[in-house]
Structure 1
Amino acid sequence: MKHPSGHYTCSVICIASLMLLFTSCSKNDKESKDLTPAPNVQEMTNYLVNQGFSEQQIVFGKDRVVIESDIIITLAELEQRVATWKKEHQPGVPQTEQRRGTYIVSNVYNTNIKFYIDPAVPADWKTAIQGAVDNWNAVNGTRLGMSIVANQASSNTRIFMGFENANWIARAYLPGSAGTPGVSVEINSNFNGLAANKKLFAITHEFGHTIGFHHTNQLSGTLIPGTPNVDPNSVMNSTVLPWNGFTAGDVLATQILYPQ
């Protein structure tokens, strides 16, 4: 996710923006340099570029890849996606807006996606998390549901605090290829002073990543048919804004991906 100053700050993260955008940061750059490249790193990079991600915004770490600053995929999951993609010979993606990833959350999980909040998460972020759950639950005409649970073992997605002196607010994992929600959302404590309405936007955005949405103002993912080509106030844009509700495009996209 991207800060209004124009610098990258936020993957939902799913995570998914916010959004100060899943773009490069010094720590991840160091991880990339320290990593001995596996033989399939180039193949994984080619796959991600084919999906519309910019190669300059792909950072490989020891066991994961961070894309556009706030979208995370484990290397094991990425290898599985590459194998599936090669088998199915998927074509290139359209270059427009209201975008989804290859995988969304299956019906086994999507009526009640369970979030666990680590005890170290500050109260104001917990308020934003509850607000984000309420936001997604209030979208009419979908089967999508979310809740907060007290036991990590019973949850689908863990929300925890991290710290990096970098311009991402939060970041999240995308859904797994087995239809599971993104496994975690990490919040950067470097932005604990962010305004409450921007915290709410950021967490709502990252939850969008955990259920399969990509950034609406980037070229990755696949256009969701029937959604607008331009939606500057979409919650899935990569720049953090004060929360002002979902756009009509956000609602329609959710209804298409998770119909009742």
Structure 2
Amino acid sequence: MKKYLQTFASIVLSALLLASCGKSADAPAAPEKKDNAEKVLTFIQNLGFSQSSIVDNGDAYIVDNDIRFPKDMEVPEGKPSTEQKWTGNKVSAANALNIRIKVDPSMTSMMPEINSAVNQWNNIGGDIALHFSVVTGSSYDILIKDADLGATTCGRGTYPSGGKAGNLIQIHKAHIAGNSFAQRQRTITHEMGHNISFTHTNQAGGSLIPGTPATDANSLMNGGQCNSGATVLSNYDKIAARWLY
């Protein structure tokens, strides 16, 4: 009889445990991320970009072919003020001190070009609190990777959000492979500029940075100049970087 009661108790206990596990499995799923697309689109338009220059690319809006605005980005409050230009949304002072770049295996063949681009931003000189580093661990701020961006786009950068650098740089490696070393690193340097808030110096959109002219033929941040543009940051590019950071 005692043995029978022990067996019965074990069966009841097992049933209770199974019921408990079943209840946990039915817990509600985490809420989905709120769609911020409309707010991001309005922000882009307020920066002065024409509707014809904005392309819906699924998870992001693409402007001027090579600039990404993720639809889940944090949009700053208020309308930005309105020539080196920027978005009115930059990397925070603390985060700008060490912006970590992770190189995807698809881009390791261009490590010399990446290092050259990093050195350009790190050697602006003057009173600037901006520094990039290449890291190999699992923690990073920007991932740089190869991507097929179509027949006319060499690279694509992502604007900063929430005080953090834009988290992705895409380089159309096959498209720039035939360019000179200087022009390949120029593409990477240019896209890094977008990830810290620079827009295109020679195109509409963005806010004027004090101390820079309306046009700058020597600006590395001029758009539409893959394989033909300046290969080093101009004096006004550096002035703009020092003003921002």
Shorter-chain TM-score range: 0.7 to 0.9
Output the CA distance in 1 between the equivalents of 2:230 and 2:145. 21
Counterpart of 1:57 in structure 2 is 53
Tell me the SS of whatever aligns to 1:219.
coil
Instruction: Kindly indicate which of the two structures has a greater share of residues assigned to helix.
Output: 2
CA-based RMSD of the aligned residues comes to 2.1
Output the CA distance in 2 between the equivalents of 1:43 and 1:215. 22
- How many residues align? The count is 208
How do residues 1-260 of structure 1 correspond to structure 2 at under 5 angstroms?
44-77=40-73, 80-81=74-75, 84-85=76-77, 88=78, 90=79, 94=82, 97-123=83-109, 125-141=110-126, 142-151=128-137, 153-176=138-161, 178-191=162-175, 192-238=177-223, 239-240=225-226, 241=228, 243-258=230-245
Moved over 2 A (4+): 39-47, 240-245
Q: TM-score, normalised by structure 2?
A: 0.78
Amino acid at match of 2:199: H
Q: TM-score, normalised by structure 1?
A: 0.74
Preserved contact between residue 200 and residue 243 of structure 1 (Cα < 8 Å): no
Output the CA distance in 1 between the equivalents of 2:57 and 2:121. 31
Kindly indicate whether structure 1 or structure 2 has the higher relative contact order, using CA contacts under 8 Å at least 6 residues apart: 1
Deviations 1:102-146 (A, max 9, x none): 2111112111111000112152x2211100000110101211111
Preserved contact between residue 45 and residue 55 of structure 1 (Cα < 8 Å): no
Preserved contact between residue 156 and residue 169 of structure 2 (Cα < 8 Å): yes
Deviations 1:185-219 (A, max 9, x none): 00113312222111111111111011110100112
Counterpart of 1:18 in structure 2 is none
What percent identity do the matched residue pairs reach?
A: 31
Q: Which runs of no fewer than 5 residues in structure 2 stay unpaired?
A: 1-34
